[in-house]
Amino acid sequence: MSFWQKNLVLLSSLLFFWFFCSFGLGILFSEQISFIKIGGFELGFWFSQQGSIYTFIIIIFSYSFLIEKLENEEKD
């Protein structure tokens, strides 16, 4: 695979997480997972008001780390 194709695979998998943790857990399946609780929070509520934001940060830094590795391989 070329560098660009590897990048596209990486992007799609990270965007899947982006979608899953915000639109998925926070909105679409929020009802179904509401029986799970962390402290006083129902899981779906926590994802929509806190968790999604933390996941977004993790996604950006993971992409940044992984793509830099790919870029360095590409340059060598």
Partner 1 sequence: MEAQTLTYLFVGLSFALYIGIAVASRAKSTNEFYVAGKGVNPVANGMATAADWMSASSFLSMAGLIAFLGRDGSVYLMGWTGGYVLLALLLAPYLRKYGKYTVPDFIGERYYSNVARVVSVICLIFISFIYIAGQMRGVGIVFSRFLEVEIEMGVIIGMGIVFIYAVLGGMKGITYTQVAQYCVMIFAYLVPAIFLSIILTDNPFPQLGFGDKLLGSDIYLIDKLDKTLVDLGFAPYTEYSKSMIDVFCITAALMFGTCGLPHVIVRFFTVPDMQAARRSAGYALVFIAILYTTAPAVASFARLNFVDSVQNTFYEDAPSWFKNWENIGLISWTDKNQDGKMQYSPGSPFEGNKPNYSGDRGEFGQRLLTNMSDDSNTNEVYLDRDIIVLANPEIANLPVWVIALVAAGGLAAALSTTAGLLLVISSAISHDLLKQTFTPRISEKQELTFARIAAALTILLAGFLGIYPPAFVAQVVAFAFGLAASTLFPVLFMGIFSKKTTKEAAITGMIAGLVFTFSYIVFFKFISPELNSSEFWLLGISPEGIGVVGMAINFALMLIITRASNAPPQSVVSLVESIRRP
Using rule CB under 8 A, residue 26 touches partner 1: yes
CA separation (Å) from 34 to 16, 38, 39, 48, 56?
A: 21, 10, 13, 12, 21
Using rule CB under 8 A, residue 20 touches partner 1: no
Angstrom distance (rounded) from CA 40 to CA 4:
44
Using rule CB under 8 A, residue 43 touches partner 1: no
CA-based max dimension of the chain = 51
Angstrom distance (rounded) from CA 39 to CA 62:
28
Angstrom distance (rounded) from CA 47 to CA 9:
25
Nearer to partner 1, 36 or 38 (CB): 38
Using rule CB under 8 A, residue 66 touches partner 1: no
Using rule CB under 8 A, residue 14 touches partner 1: yes
Residues that bind partner 1 (CB under 8 A): 3-4, 7, 11, 14-15, 18, 22-23, 26-28, 30, 38-42, 45-46, 48-50, 52-54, 56-57, 59-61, 63-64, 67-68, 70-71, 74-75
